[in-house]
Amino acid sequence: MTEARPGVDGRSAAGAASAPPRPDGHRGGAPADLRRIGIDPDHWYPVAVSRKVHRQRTFAAVFAGERIALYRGRSGKVYALEDRCAHRQVPLSMGVVEDEILRCCYHAWAYRGNGRISQIPYLPKGCERPPRGVRSYPVREAFGLVFVFPGDPEKAESAPFPVLPEFGSPTHRTMTFSRTVKCHYSFMHENLLDMNHQFLHRGVLGRIKPELLGYETGPRFVEARYLFVPAGGRKDRGAGLLSAEGFGGKDRPDVITIRTEYPYQTLHDVPEDAELPAFSLWAAYVPEDAEQRTNHAYGLLMIAKPPVPGALHVAWPFIRRFTERVFAQDRMAVEAEQRAWDEQGADRNHEVFPLILDVRDVLRSNGVPLPAPQEAGSGGVPSVNGHGAAADGPADGAVQVPPEPRPADRRQP
Ligand code: FES
Ligand SMILES: [Fe+2]
């Protein structure tokens, strides 16, 4: 089901006259605190930048408290194993790669990429081997990132994988971001989707009047379209280079489309009278700790090359500096939000913007319950390490959690 919603000024022709039924049919009741909702592990998540995972070397990655040992074999293929040796739980990321095998640093047990034990060097003849090795994760490498599937491996093949036609296209160049941000992943989605926070960036972007043109929502997505009208003020040089002014230096408004499509987020900037985006961003916010109060933000900023050869190369450091300044401001805000949640022990936000209420529902209804705090230290997931259990996922897929109640003015004009 897709619901088209008007902007706050009612400009969208596709606007619904009144609040439609909830995607899950829910109409009230106490909502679950979104900051206690875990991300659904049944998706592909980036856990490393490819160039950091060297051939014949390991890389210690993490997903929501689950430590994952990545390693790249001599062939160039990347493998992902539970980061605990089945013998005495020493991290396998401290081990040694031998061709396509990972050998634990302690007693030299060797593992194949599927997690099976290939050798216990000192095992006396006739002694029985442990029935299982360690859990392995499905891995895919794309867009300069290493993705793993932390959920039910049976679902990995059919799970949607990002499609980014601009990446690797000769018409675009990609800037990669990889940062830890100390907040629940939901704050990241809300930050980017709510363009009313441009005040925060006034020193970098100048004064901007974002105008919501309209938005659509469904069970798994929210997509908002904004018109960005420059309203004067000083702006970072990189902002002009990246935006619709492009390299021509004209002050045209931009139409920015931002979409949360669970669990990813995208942004497209299309100059008002252009067909192709001046730039687009793809982002994933991957929880690091079991309580999911920290996320690793991976971003791919794909920038269209201007007609003048070499111009983008010259502009690159300015664009990098500009995006770093904007990101630092956003990080300051979302980390402050998380600190407030930590201090208050609950979400005391008074959100008023309809599409943010909708994206909260999307994140809530597609997420999974977090383990209680006392369990959280264990990683909150069943481990197959040495216990002979099936290598199953940490949770039984998405659960339906009630959404938060809507204020009366939730209904659109
Ligand atoms: S702890 Fe890994 S081989 Fe002993
Ligand atoms: Fe921002």
Over the stretch 139-192, which tens digit does the pLDDT of each residue have?
Answer: 999 999 999 999 999 999 999 999 998 898 888 999 999 999 999 999 999 999
Do both 206 and 344 map to the same domain?
yes
Distance 347 CA to ligand 2 centre (A): 21
Count the alpha carbons within 13 Å of 2 in the hemisphere toward its beta carbon.
7
In a domain, 100, yes or no: yes
- Which of the pair, 106 or 131, is modelled with greater confidence? 106
Distance in angstroms (rounded) separating the CA atoms of residues 370 and 362 = 16
Do both 287 and 232 map to the same domain?
yes
The confidence score (pLDDT) of residue 236 equals 58
Share in percent of the chain as helix, strand, coil (round to 5) = 20, 30, 50
Do both 204 and 244 map to the same domain?
yes
The confidence score (pLDDT) of residue 303 equals 92
Distance 95 CA to ligand 1 centre (A): 9
The confidence score (pLDDT) of residue 204 equals 85
- CATH code at position 123: 2.102.10.10
Q: 87 in ligand 1 pocket by Cβ < 6 Å? A: yes
In a domain, 200, yes or no: yes
Give the 3-state secondary structure of residue 362: helix
Considering only CA atoms, which of 313, 252, 359, 349 is closest in space to residue 3? 359
Contact between 3 and 218 under an 8 Å Cβ cutoff? The reply is yes
Distance in angstroms (rounded) separating the CA atoms of residues 78 and 58 = 9
**How many domains, in total, are found in the chain?**
2
Q: Which residues pair with 303 in a beta bridge?
A: 173, 279
Written as one letter, the residue type at 313 is H
The tens digit of pLDDT for each residue in 77-89 reads 999 999 999 999 9
The per-residue b/e assignment along 382-394, b for 16 or more CB within 10 angstroms, e otherwise, is bbbbbeeeebebb
What's the domain range around 192?
1-38+163-413
Ordered DSSP codes for 40-56: PSSS-EEEEEGGGS-BT
Q: Where are the beta strands (DSSP E) in 99-188?
A: 101-103, 110-111, 117-119, 136-137, 139-142, 145-148, 172-181
In a domain, 240, yes or no: yes
Contact between 192 and 167 under an 8 Å Cβ cutoff? The reply is no
Q: 107 in ligand 1 pocket by Cβ < 6 Å? A: yes
Distance 336 CA to ligand 2 centre (A): 14
Considering only CA atoms, which of 38, 83, 41 is closest in space to residue 290? 38
Give the 3-state secondary structure of residue 163: coil
Q: 90 in ligand 1 pocket by Cβ < 6 Å? A: yes
Q: Which residues pair with 238 in a beta bridge?
A: none
The confidence score (pLDDT) of residue 28 equals 52
Contact between 63 and 286 under an 8 Å Cβ cutoff? The reply is yes
Q: Which atom of ligand 1 is nearest to the CA of 105?
A: 2
Q: 109 in ligand 1 pocket by Cβ < 6 Å? A: yes
The tens digit of pLDDT for each residue in 197-222 reads 989 998 888 888 889 999 999 999 99
The tens digit of pLDDT for each residue in 334-377 reads 999 999 999 999 999 999 999 999 999 999 999 999 977 655 44
Do both 267 and 413 map to the same domain?
yes
Distance in angstroms (rounded) separating the CA atoms of residues 367 and 219 = 12
In a domain, 207, yes or no: yes
Say which residues have a Cβ less than 8 Å from residue 85's Cβ, sequence separation at least 6.
Answer: 91, 92, 95, 104, 106, 109, 134
- Number of Cβ within 10 Å of residue 378's Cβ equals 12
Do both 272 and 125 map to the same domain?
no
Distance 198 CA to ligand 2 centre (A): 6
Whether the model clears a pTM of 0.85, i.e. scores above it, the answer is no
Judging by beta carbons within 10 Å of its beta carbon (0-12, 13-18, 19+), is residue 269 exposed, middle or buried? buried
Which ligand sits closest to the CA of 323? 2
Q: 88 in ligand 1 pocket by Cβ < 6 Å? A: yes
Which ligand sits closest to the CA of 326? 2
The confidence score (pLDDT) of residue 103 equals 98
The closest residue, in CA terms, to atom 3 on ligand 1 is 107
The confidence score (pLDDT) of residue 281 equals 96
Average pLDDT over every residue of 114-133: 90
Distance 3 CA to ligand 1 centre (A): 54
In a domain, 57, yes or no: yes
Residue 289 has pLDDT above 50, yes or no: yes
Distance 106 CA to ligand 1 centre (A): 5
Do both 223 and 89 map to the same domain?
no
Distance in angstroms (rounded) separating the CA atoms of residues 236 and 311 = 17
Distance in angstroms (rounded) separating the CA atoms of residues 6 and 12 = 4
Q: Which residues pair with 265 in a beta bridge?
A: 260, 283
Do both 31 and 56 map to the same domain?
no
Distance in angstroms (rounded) separating the CA atoms of residues 151 and 185 = 18
Do both 60 and 8 map to the same domain?
no
Percent of the chain with pLDDT over 90: 61
In a domain, 154, yes or no: no
Count the alpha carbons within 13 Å of 159 in the hemisphere toward its beta carbon.
25
Average pLDDT over every residue of 31-58: 96
